[in-house]
Structure 1
Amino acid sequence: MTHGTGAPFGLCEPLPHRLGKQPKPVTLSAAPRYLQVAGACNEPLAAPARPSQVFWMLNSGYFSDSCCSHPLSTPAELEEKDALGVRHAACRCLQAELGIPPDQISPDDIVFMTIYHHRAKSDRIWGDHEICYLLLVRKDVTVNPDPSEAKSYQYMTQEELEDLLERDARGEAKVTPWLRSIAEKFLFKWWPHLDELAPFMEHHRIHRV
């Protein structure tokens, strides 16, 4: 659990944040170097590919960010310095949810961008209220999602993600509220600058979304 400043003050099970308390999740978008239909590739395409990111469909049918979870109460995942704890947590979640082999991803591969305070109502009962650490990965990896976590996954260019959000607005597709917030307020601004992200890193700011 965290205060509104992001400072941790205790532990919780996953349920309480649905009732208004704020856990500290890890939200991650994976950007491979090259785009290939049906997943990440180990070799570049013949022609230069536009930067793409991987998004996955939850079993509920909603498209979401590449990975979203919470750090465990372990020394490695509670380390605050340089967001090392949440980067360790992201590695664990990428392995568990997207099936990325441990030898293909490490905390050093993960870029901590910023923090945001997220609230979203899902229906009359459920909602989200979280302090989120936004992370990026740009690497070729093998993706083999856990079928209990993801129905499918897809690499998208910025234009394709914009189209998905438009289709969601028309009721023709479904995206999670946090994916829309992340895309519109952060990802679309960062996307053209994946080779030079330093100017966009705001480690000590909490964006109120």
Structure 2
Amino acid sequence: MANFSTHITVAAAGAGLLSVLCLQVGLAGSREALLLALLGTIGGILPDIDLQHAYPSRIMFSLFGILAAFLLVFAKKSELSIVELWGIGLTVFAVIRFPVWMVFHQYTTHRGSIHSLVAALLFMFLTTAFAYHVMGEHPFMSWLFGLFVFLGFVLHLLLDELYSVDFMNTRIKKSFGTALKILDWKNRGKSTVLVVATILAWAVVPDSRSFWDTLLSAETYHIIGSRFLP
């Protein structure tokens, strides 16, 4: 299994390169490109949030708490006083960082249902829905945010699988096949909950037609090709 430093470095590099591409071809502005790089990096460490006593878990839940707190404060800034905004922000952060974190780890095991492609879809849908309904982003940008989380997540799974192969001794480690999987078939109860949660998240995402039309358009790739090299 790749370590935390490797995961965050590779995810940041990959997300950064893709965000620059999006910026250059006009799919995102400077603000959006920065957020895309951040979201891709976050996606790259998301599969390890079920390691309760490791850095990824504490960092991720702290980030979730800070992000949720600021977004809520921004949404209510014209309605509440400074003290009220402070109170709301600190409360949201504390709830996500501690009780939600503790409850989450009571029902998860490392490399279980969270370490799967279905979980990657869940986080993609949640990010997309959050960007659209809470942040007020356009459907296309909301889906692009979700895609970057998905790609970072899958990159993490791929790295863990590659680290399960000892290329020097040309052997396969016992952990091979536990990182990149569609679902955790050994734990049907938790996997069922994950599938249901993914379906529910998918039900509240915005319309994706503009996203797919742009992503699959020949014109998009023509623009990328024309700007790819000096």
Fold agreement, TM-score > 0.5: no
Q: Which has a greater percent of strand?
A: 1
TM-score of the superposed pair, with normalisation by structure 2: 0.26
TM (normalized to structure 1)?
Answer: 0.27
